[in-house]
Structure 1
Amino acid sequence: MKKLKMIPLMALAVALCTQGVAQRANVPTPVILDTDVGNDIDDVLALQMLFNYEKSAKINLLGITISKSNPRVIEYVDGYCRFNKRGNIPLGYAYNGVNPEPFRYVPKTLDTLIDGKKILFPKRSIKSGLPEGFKLLRKLLANQKDHSVVMIVVGPETNIANLLNSGADEYSKLNGVDLVKKKVKLLSVMGGVYSNEFDFAEWNIEQDLKASAVVFDKWPTALVASGFELGSKLLYPHQSILNDFKDGYKHPLCVSYKVYDKMPYDRQTWDLTSVLYALEPDKNYFDLSPKGTIEIDSKGKSIFTPSENGKHTYLKIKDTEVKRTLQALVDQVVGK
């Protein structure tokens, strides 16, 4: 009789164990975004992807740091977060960052009136006293489980270099490098050129060249780079902007897209590729280079050297996967 009773007990134990593993597997991935919204429209598309991932419970977007040093970008990002019902998300700002110019779509979208009403309703501004980007990063990382955070960086790397160069503070006794090493699982960064198709310094890298060199030199965990050549092969279709969004005529993303350049145009998806790989690496949308080391030279060029012990890789894509990957990008922006 004792042996017969043990069978259901063992089955129950196995079931509970299996349930526990399943629950852990479904825990949303903690994500931090560092962005230069305003310089290109792909930042807004990437941000919308992240909000849609969060709505599907795949991620927990811990915070957003802004590397573009223009006060109106704070208002735009805050308003866009509120549009997606995330008005409480922590924001950080690079007060001495690069590119103070407002460029096109940030001020125009903020000032747009449709049916006599604004389409973005920010509550935070430069007067709100946002923390320095690297200070917010330290605070967010210190509160997360070890080796759990995915960081996505899609602009100049000012905040990230400041994080790595930071010392102990009220949030952690660890310096920046050690804090990252303890808390971050992956850095997915849009920056560099890794093919023979182009021979120039990629924009994100050269904007804050000193910061870029620091990040690629000091980053202590896995780093996956998406180069200029990758996003150039995947063009976001303007038809999606025109047709895929409910009330698209007043959707902030669609308005910003139409303001950024003369329609119709299909924009490169540079920043989007870093988001898609970071959060769905198992879907094989991209191939990875061999392991190695990426060095940023004095002119801003990204030099990759293969090495079995290297922590850096970069993304590639087969021609046969372009259509499927582009559709995945569009679906995630739209929220299908």
Structure 2
Amino acid sequence: MAPTPILFVTDIGRDIDDTVALLALSTYEKEGKVKLVGVIATGGVGEDRARLTRFWLRRLGYGDGDVPVAACLANGKDVCLMPEANPGVPTVEEANLFRGSSPERAAPELCLALADMYKGRLEVIVIGPMSAIGDAVRSDEDAARMQRGVAKMHIQGQATVGADGRLAPDFIAFNLGENRESSTLAFDKLQDHMPFHLLGKHAAYRVTLTPGDFKKFDDAADSNILQDQAEKGLASFRLNMPEIFYRLYPVPEDQRGDDQWYKTLSYVSHPYDPTLTIATQCPSLFTPIKVDHPNGKGSHLLIGMKNEGNCEVPDETLVHKEILRTVQEAGKVMAMAMATEAASEPIPFLFVTDIGRDIDDTVALLALAAYEREGKIKLVGVVATGGAGVQRARLTRYWLRRLGYRDEDVPVAACLADGKPVCLLPDGVPSEEDACLFRGESEGRAAAELCLALADLHQGRLNVLVIGPASALGEAVSKEGDAERLRRGIARMHIQGQATVGAEGRLEPDFAAFNLSENKEAATVVFDKLQDHMPFVLLGKHAAYRVTLTREDFMAWDVAAGTNTITEQANKGLAAFRKDMPDVFYRVYPVPEDKRGDDVWFKTLTYISHPYDPLLTVAANHNDLFQPVRVPNPKLPGSAKEHLLIGMKNEGDCQVPDAEAAHAEICRVVKDSSKRMASIEMEAMKQAMKKKKSGHP
């Protein structure tokens, strides 16, 4: 079962509870139950809370590209307690925050982007004020996006039930009372479309975290950071509101000195936020009051709305035990992460491919996967295009699974634009229903919507590797508003194909290149709408002709993979070419006439491909192997923004000074991925044998 995507809305830094909740949630992700896909830091001083969020995410091993964090700039409490640590809390500039179209719109735009990305599956955990959610549903159009995208709302706070069965926020709850208008708006616009799960203060009061618990957390993390943060939060409370503090924390008067009071506490917190987090993943620990949803969308669940009986927490010791377990596990992860030197942040890549037409796209994908394992890039999405889009998307999922990618980590969308119908499928390719494809608002828009969603999520960092027709990108830039989203989101375009340089220094697609000619209109609009806003890197056929992949190369990869799938797919692709266009085939592959029989022609080949697509993949990650022609971008000054052209003309070394080094790099990375596939398949066989021996089906 795929992990549940979670958007986490928090006022982290006001007290220790939000931090503990985040640690618990990270353990559930490690266990495969959830996937944290975004965080909104809210409740006043949003940028400080966003910086603090990034600090904790990094300590937990999340890459900045894995979890976008947006600061909500709405008013609220100005207290945000920062830990003293090394490395410390990053600055706003260093925290890689999600920016959106403007700082004020970043938080609601992240909500909307995630709702679009995870349509009907996104769950939102709200342990802070609802300011960003209110902004995200303010217009009817945006509200509809949230209504389609969000499956459940989990809210820390109380609600009352009206005569008509509708919920109303109880503003006694701090989070709901901080921005009453947003709370009211969120309840009004969303509750008719999804179930709300609320956990109130009376449930939290059933559970207690002690100073000893926080020591256990820190022992697991090999630090004292959580105890320090808990003490800081309470010290601020004690300093500013001493009468209320000592009423809640009955410390004897003779032990209220600065160096004594914390050690005397019988408890640190009643964990509102962690208990809600536990309730989302361990519902059996609670007996919620069910309120039938008026529109048949399941039931609203209410825990701890009133101080009656056990407040829907039948055994608080089990909840306490689960909080301890999950936070201690997160502490162990932090200890390991801090013991390992942090690698540089991987670059997010969107891969646009007509995989299945020939073997080159598959080899490029294997190369890209190897670069991800080396920490250079992160594959964040794939668009399968070039005709027969669904088949190509299924084939993509087949290879991704063999490479060890989980379906939820890499969304794959099928572009339904026209193109070549040939898509060669090996045995074992999943059906359309089993391939977990990205659907979007409609099948016809899925590919364009994935491009836009990824641009929104990885603003200013997304790289796009285009080794197929530009149909989906053309559709994604067809509206000016959408084009602007891509301009904000994409850092660099890598395109397999040629271009010419016009009189004004602007690039024009060369339709002698197959990928660009397959959808000339799309290629033209992509070049027109995007090149003034980002550098283009193009690698053309003349560079590819400098490098040759032989049958021996393919066989070596299959030996490493423990299969013959790669060579078989290369054979199938060339066989289709040989059958459909024999004259052209034998001109390109000069096989002697007496060796053109069905069982001998492939064995006679001196080479299988000039690797257009793999070479572009290498150029995107190992640019020192190339000497591109640099074209100043008229709209973007500076050498870092220059367009780079490799192999546009058949002149000299075609910007590939050492073809053998380029060949060796392709062979290295593809062999690495082949070994990875063998390891995964061996482990799967071992697990199957264990199940068989244990008698499990």
> TM-score band, normalised by the shorter chain?
0.7 to 0.9
Structure-2 change in CA distance of 1:61 and 1:235 (3 Å): same
Measure how far apart 1:243 and its partner are.
2.6
Q: Distance in 2 between matches of 1:128 and 1:244?
A: 28
1:101 equivalent to 2:78? Answer yes
Measure how far apart 1:59 and its partner are.
1.4
**Which residue pairs with 1:44 in the alignment?**
19
- Hey, which of these two has a bigger chunk of strand by percent? 1
**Which residue pairs with 2:691 in the alignment?**
none
Q: Distance in 1 between matches of 2:145 and 2:4?
A: 18
Q: Distance in 2 between matches of 1:228 and 1:318?
A: 12
* Unaligned 5+ runs, structure 2: 101-105, 162-169, 236-261, 305-310, 331-697
**Which residue pairs with 1:328 in the alignment?**
322
Q: Distance in 1 between matches of 2:312 and 2:130?
A: 28
Question: SS at the partner of 1:153?
Answer: strand
**Which residue pairs with 2:274 in the alignment?**
272
Q: Distance in 1 between matches of 2:217 and 2:111?
A: 34
Structure-2 change in CA distance of 1:62 and 1:319 (3 Å): closer
Q: 1:65 aligns with which of 40, 59, 64?
A: 40
1:288 equivalent to 2:288? Answer yes
Measure how far apart 1:40 and its partner are.
2.2
**Which residue pairs with 1:188 in the alignment?**
154
**Which residue pairs with 1:304 in the alignment?**
none
C-alpha offsets along residues 27-78 of structure 1, whole Å, 9 cap, x if unaligned? 2111110111122211111111111212222211001011123132222111
1:139 equivalent to 2:113? Answer yes
Q: 2:126 aligns with which of 148, 153, 167?
A: 153
Measure how far apart 1:237 and its partner are.
2.5
Partners of 1:242 and 1:254 within 8 A in 2 = yes
Partners of 1:35 and 1:153 within 8 A in 2 = yes
AA at the equivalent of 2:230: Y
C-alpha offsets along residues 218-270 of structure 1, whole Å, 9 cap, x if unaligned? 21211011112111221122211113433757353332112212523330111
Structure-2 change in CA distance of 1:248 and 1:332 (3 Å): closer
**Which residue pairs with 2:210 in the alignment?**
237
Q: Distance in 2 between matches of 1:50 and 1:79?
A: 16
Structure-2 change in CA distance of 1:55 and 1:254 (3 Å): farther
Q: Distance in 1 between matches of 2:187 and 2:219?
A: 41
Question: SS at the partner of 1:312?
Answer: strand
AA at the equivalent of 1:184: V
Q: Distance in 1 between matches of 2:90 and 2:27?
A: 20
Matched length:
275
**Which residue pairs with 2:605 in the alignment?**
none
Q: Distance in 2 between matches of 1:68 and 1:319?
A: 28
AA at the equivalent of 1:322: E
Segment drifting more, 241-250 vs 325-334:
241-250
**Which residue pairs with 2:70 in the alignment?**
92
Structure-2 change in CA distance of 1:124 and 1:251 (3 Å): farther
Segment drifting more, 239-248 vs 310-319:
310-319
Q: Distance in 1 between matches of 2:313 and 2:89?
A: 42
AA at the equivalent of 2:75: V
* Unaligned 5+ runs, structure 1: 1-24, 168-174, 294-306
Q: Distance in 2 between matches of 1:249 and 1:255?
A: 13
Q: Distance in 2 between matches of 1:252 and 1:76?
A: 13
Q: 2:195 aligns with which of 222, 232, 250?
A: 222
Q: Distance in 1 between matches of 2:143 and 2:149?
A: 10
Question: SS at the partner of 1:102?
Answer: coil
**Which residue pairs with 1:77 in the alignment?**
53
Q: Distance in 2 between matches of 1:205 and 1:194?
A: 12
Q: 2:178 aligns with which of 182, 207, 212?
A: 207
Measure how far apart 1:319 and its partner are.
5.8
**Which residue pairs with 1:178 in the alignment?**
144
Partners of 2:286 and 2:313 within 8 A in 1 = no
C-alpha offsets along residues 190-243 of structure 1, whole Å, 9 cap, x if unaligned? 012669xxx971111111011111112221211011112111221122211113
User: Higher relative CO (CA 8 A, sep ≥ 6), structure 1 or 2?
Assistant: 1
**Which residue pairs with 2:515 in the alignment?**
none
Segment drifting more, 124-133 vs 66-75:
124-133
Segment drifting more, 41-50 vs 72-81:
72-81
Once the two structures are aligned, what percentage of the paired residues are identical?
18
Partners of 2:216 and 2:328 within 8 A in 1 = no
Partners of 2:287 and 2:314 within 8 A in 1 = no
**Which residue pairs with 1:30 in the alignment?**
5
Q: Distance in 2 between matches of 1:333 and 1:212?
A: 29
Structure-2 change in CA distance of 1:142 and 1:60 (3 Å): same
AA at the equivalent of 1:120: G
Question: SS at the partner of 1:235?
Answer: coil
Partners of 1:142 and 1:183 within 8 A in 2 = yes
Question: SS at the partner of 2:285?
Answer: coil
Q: Distance in 1 between matches of 2:320 and 2:275?
A: 9
Question: SS at the partner of 1:332?
Answer: helix
AA at the equivalent of 1:324: L
Q: Distance in 2 between matches of 1:148 and 1:129?
A: 22
Partners of 2:108 and 2:132 within 8 A in 1 = yes
TM-score normalised by length of structure 1: 0.73
Partners of 1:82 and 1:121 within 8 A in 2 = no
Structure-2 change in CA distance of 1:268 and 1:193 (3 Å): farther
Structure-2 change in CA distance of 1:63 and 1:327 (3 Å): same
Partners of 2:130 and 2:182 within 8 A in 1 = yes
Q: Distance in 2 between matches of 1:129 and 1:200?
A: 30
Q: Distance in 2 between matches of 1:85 and 1:248?
A: 13
Partners of 2:218 and 2:224 within 8 A in 1 = yes
AA at the equivalent of 1:53: Y
Q: Distance in 1 between matches of 2:55 and 2:48?
A: 10
**Which residue pairs with 2:619 in the alignment?**
none
Q: Distance in 2 between matches of 1:334 and 1:247?
A: 6
Question: SS at the partner of 1:186?
Answer: strand
Partners of 2:9 and 2:40 within 8 A in 1 = yes
Partners of 2:28 and 2:34 within 8 A in 1 = yes
Q: CA RMSD in A?
A: 2.7
Partners of 1:119 and 1:252 within 8 A in 2 = no
Partners of 2:13 and 2:79 within 8 A in 1 = yes
Q: Distance in 2 between matches of 1:328 and 1:140?
A: 29
Greater gyration radius: 2
